[in-house]
Amino acid sequence: MKATTILAFLFLICAALPLYAADINDLTWTTTGGKVTIPDCDEAASGALVIPETIEGKPVTSIGDYAFASCTNLTSITIPAGVTSIGNAAFWNCTSLTSVIIPESVTSIGYWAFWNCSSLTSITLPNSITSIGDSVFRGCTSLTSVTISTG
């Protein structure tokens, strides 16, 4: 009986684990003028995602509107150097997102970009940002620290 209980417990733990970690295969991208934009991500993507600096040899330069909207299982996202813009509602409703690394190359963040990222606790905005849309952190109920670099 004890062995059956242990096996059932292990099965429940394994069933709760994500099936895969997020990677480039979870992303959709478009190329215009030799530059890559990420317009979409598979909502089933989970865990930490590091967006590559290049895709098919071309630089990733923007995160599109609603690109990661409702990717509720992503826990962290690293945006590569070279990205200059983060679109409107790009990370809307990413409720498990606790960390986003934004590089110095980003100059604009669209409205509602992090709306309802309820697990996001802190974020640092680089010096390079010249434009931030309305309600960027609306619904970020765990957010306790926003660091804005000098500039």
Instruction: Evaluate whether the domain defined by 20-148 bears CATH number 3.80.10.10.
Output: yes
pLDDT given at position 51: 97
Domain residue ranges of the chain, discontinuous segments joined by +: 20-148
Q: How many CB atoms lie within 10 A of CB 62?
A: 22
pLDDT given at position 81: 97
pLDDT given at position 10: 47
Tokens at 50, concatenated: 């590091």
- Check the CA dihedral 20-22-25-26 and report its sign: positive
Check: CB of residue 75 under 8 Å from CB of residue 49: no
The residue-averaged pLDDT of 66-87 equals 97
Residue 53 CA to residue 37 CA, distance in Å, equals 11
Q: What is the pLDDT of residues 9-67, one digit of tens each?
A: 545 444 444 445 688 899 999 999 999 999 999 999 999 999 999 999 999 999 999 99
pLDDT given at position 66: 98
Compute the mean pLDDT over every residue in the chain, rounded to the nearest whole number. Answer: 89
pTM: 0.84
